[in-house]
Amino acid sequence: MNIPKDLKYTKTHEWVRVEGKNAYVGITDFAQRHLGDIVYVELPEVGSDVEVGDALCSIESVKAASDVYSPVSGKVVDANESLEEEPGLLNQDPYKNWIALIEMANPEEVDALLDAESYAKHCEQEEEAMA
């Protein structure tokens, strides 16, 4: 499983890459593997405000529909429109293909997220619980 060390993670399998006041948000490799072939991404509305834990958007796969939750609070300033045409990009490389760019209202919220090592342990525990 691919877990880049330079990102932060949530227990609901979103990743965050911080660049100044901005946070790129996407789903993890663990999430895309468990969803299976992704067939539709409902992108968040640019200009909308989100709080930590809010449903940011939804993803549909051949197996299930799933919400993506915002790991930070702020304003959605961009959405990756290429996912509307090619939702399967999330299966190909979930870390290259971000979903939303959020201008963070409280950058310190990132400190509450998991680092790569903690996220890897969380995934292992989930895998064991599913077995």
Look at 118 and 1; give whichever has higher pLDDT: 118
Range 117-123 average pLDDT: 97
Would you state the pLDDT for residue 14?
98
The single residue listed with the structure tokens 């930070």 is 72
Q: CB neighbours (10 Å) of residue 94?
A: 23
pTM of the entire structure?
0.95
Query: Is there a contact between 50 and 44 (Cβ–Cβ < 8 Å)?
Result: yes
Task: Show the tokens assigned to 9.
Answer: 């993670």
For residue range 77-100, what is the model confidence (pLDDT) as tens digits?
999 999 999 999 999 999 999 999
Assigned fold of 8-130: OB fold (Dihydrolipoamide Acetyltransferase, E2P) (2.40.50)
Rounded distance, CA 102 to CA 124, Å?
29
